[in-house]
A and B are shown apart, each in its own frame.
Chain A
């Protein structure tokens, strides 16, 4: 069955530190989609990235980068030079091609960035 595991419940860092949020997924499907969403203290959910299973290239967007490794079923998220505004709960999610209507979320990682 499909599953998303975010083993890090909470991470605290000091501003300007780099931090990596781990995401490990389970699926029997060969075609699937992985996502990261951010939930800042204000509560809304903000889409960050989508990656399909055929695209293993790492992605960089400003201070954010994502490392997708099918061999270890991981889709990790790194924030470089963290800032206080990065403080949020981050969710990793999975959607499988045979049932793209369902989105399975991990339990989230709360990141606190202290000044």
Chain B
């Protein structure tokens, strides 16, 4: 089944404790992206990647890192999480670029205490 998977689905952590949210797609898509969803703000793009080893900042990249060492994986790294990073995170992939339909993962609900 074609899908985007994210792990973990739920995570509660404490300020400053490094964490990684994994994202994997099995559709051989070139483009992958991370978004955060907050009430009243909709979805905002954090980082995106056009291909392996090619990543770029979205609108809200502060406090996040990403890597794209393999085409299928696009992990989101929070080196030192803070409470303002409490949010619902979505990973998405697309065949070529953002102007194509994006396929979203199920979301990761992160709480930073």
Contacts and interface: CB of A to CB of B under 8 A. Distances in A.
A100 B50 CA distance: 10
Interface stretch (A42-50, A55-63, A80-88): A42-50
Nearest to A49: B101
A107 B40 contact: yes
Interface residues of B, number: 27
B101 A103 contact: no
A91 interface: yes
A33 B96 CA distance: 14
A103 B45 contact: yes
Contacts of B43: 45, 91, 93, 105
Chain B interface SS verdict (over half)? strand
Contacts of B90: 45
Interface string B56-100: 101100000000000000000000000000001010100001111
Interface of B: 31, 33, 35, 40-45, 48, 50, 56, 58-59, 88, 90, 92, 97-104, 106-107
20 contacts: A43-B88, A43-B107, A44-B106, A44-B107, A46-B104, A47-B101, A50-B100, A95-B98, A100-B97, A100-B98, A100-B99, A101-B48, A101-B50, A101-B98, A102-B58, A104-B59, A105-B42, A105-B44, A107-B41, A107-B42
